[in-house]
Structure 1
């Protein structure tokens, strides 16, 4: 039985609240890290990992929680750094002042550094098998590093001064946003020690979910409100960001979103055929994309 997204979110929130402090040895640093980590958020990434483990018949115990919630640490680091004055210079995140507005740019940078490195500690500091821990560590480093999310952020910065075509935009977002969501789903397959074809299908579902997530986020910057999003909207066009609505218009972006969701659902069905198990638990994640 797969837990609901609300149940998974509560599990993740409770785990993060209970376990962060033990691994941080400086009070202001802890407060800065904790401020962003516990400021809300949907917890979609670790929830995808936990739901995947459950659908594949695995048990969500303390070791799995430690490894899975590491991804939320890393995701939070990326948000803190993304908001810094040298990057997007945002002053609002999840309806609250961004970390550097509250703690200063220096401490915010260190909070991000602390969350990033602690993520790899949590992935490796558990009682999963050594082979599983090694595979998770490598996959997370590849997803987050200079051929993954960091490369996507670099492309995003350079792209502000040029107009990207659709293939270039997809590539940018496959790294910037999609890489961590791809890893989130793949991690469930690694933890439950699936065969390579199953892990490949899981990664494909995560990649399509990640693409849909970015297109939806782009659309909500145009169609949503600050209250809905917890951050300032209508910023992308003013900052000359490359977005799906900017390139294709709202109708074209909605069409691309639907294509990504259709591909994700086909992969969901393929996973059921490969494993003989139900992957209906992904439906609650796909329901996130409501315009």
Structure 2
């Protein structure tokens, strides 16, 4: 059941992205092609899946979630394009393909990231949804994208490169860099389902634990997996002397932290019962993923 739902939602996300992204045959064709290279045909689609899972758990129709799910993925895609730039992580492989600045050029990659981000907000503003819901969606996504979210987390990551961070600092950095957009995805879906304050708080606890679990697992895979398995360069954290959960806790300690986060997710979702089955399945995927 879960695999079928996830495949259907991933296909809906791909179709919506195809519809929202500009025609590569129109000028500026190079920029349009770069945007599509960054967004289509790959990735785990974890964030749009969370939008669908949270929304449908609370009774929202799948079709009503399409644009919101795609908008979250557009912001994620923009962040990856910019993270991979030479001025940031300087990576040349993403989702098994050359990164945008390698496939095109650095200036085009910067513009593609900018354009993907603004397209996300344009799509939300024009979505077929009540005005207040669209405002709430825009606010949630903007908060997750700026200095209190991904941009702030990336700045902290840059500042920490080459030195050992305390565990508390590492967790705060990843709560912004990785966790903020995951929390926004869950919130956006929940808002579409008309969630009350108590449910939003419960789902936020789940999403916070999932975001951290996603990063802990990422750090473990960076040590254990190959570049071919990951679809991106393995061993980058160690090469750049970055603090990671295995580096601070050891591999056994990192795995124990992952197990603890899985329990936190289950506890947060428990009051929702069977309605939260697909959210729970996504949490399990985050903990057990192999790439």
- Taking structure 2 as the reference length, the TM-score comes to 0.94
Alpha-carbon distance between aligned partners in 1 of 2:281 and 2:7, rounded to the nearest angstrom? 10
1:58 aligns with 2:71: no
Q: 1:217 to 1:170 in 2, by over 3 A?
A: same
**1:205-220 aligned within 5 A:** 205-220=206-221
After TM superposition, give the deviation of residue 22 of structure 1 in Å: 5.8
Partner of 1:32: 34
- Corresponding residue for residue 284 of structure 2: 287
Give the Cα separation in 1 of the matches to 2:174 and 2:242. 12
- Structure 2 distance, partners of 1:258, 1:121, is 39
Could you tell me which residue of structure 2 aligns to residue 128 of structure 1?
Answer: 129
Provide the C-alpha distance between the structure 2 equivalents of 1:188 and 1:156, rounded to a whole number of angstroms. Answer: 28
- Contact 2:161–2:242 (CA under 8 A) maintained in structure 1: yes
CA distance, structure 2, for counterparts of residue 25 and residue 15 of structure 1: 21
Measured in 2, the distance between the counterparts of 1:138 and 1:254 equals 34
Please state if 1:168 is matched with 2:169.
yes
Kept in 2: contact 1:136–1:187 (CA 8 A): yes
Q: How far has the Cα of 1:270 moved from its partner? A: 2.8
Deviation at 1:278, TM superposition (A): 1.9
Please give the secondary structure, in 1, of the residue aligned with 2:275: coil
CA displacement 1:73-103 (0-9 Å, x = unmatched): 0000000000001001101111111100011
Q: Quote the offset at 1:124 in angstroms.
A: 1.3
Q: Contact 1:68/1:123 (CA < 8 Å) preserved in 2?
A: no
Residue 119 to residue 86, structure 1, CA distance change in 2 (3 Å):
same
Residue correspondence of structure 1 range 92-107 to structure 2 within 5 A: 92-107=93-108
**TM-score scaled by length of structure 1:** 0.94
Cα offset, 1:286, TM superposition? 2.3
**Does the aligned pair in 2 maintain the 1:84–1:100 contact within 8 Å?**
yes
CA displacement at 1:221 relative to structure 2: 0.1
For residue 110 of structure 1, give the secondary structure of its aligned residue in structure 2: helix
Q: Deviations over 1:48-92 (max 9, x none)?
A: 10111111111122x421122100000000000000010011011
For 1:45-124, list aligned pairs within 5 A.
45-61=47-63, 63-124=64-125
CA distance in 2 between counterparts of 1:45 and 1:169 reads: 22
CA distance in 1, matches of 2:28, 2:194: 37
RMSD, matched Cα: 1.7
Matches of 2:51 and 2:27 in 1, distance apart? 28
Any conservation in 2 of the 1:80–1:98 contact (CA below 8 Å)? yes
After TM superposition, the structure 1 stretch with the greater mean CA deviation from structure 2, 19-28 or 144-153, is: 19-28
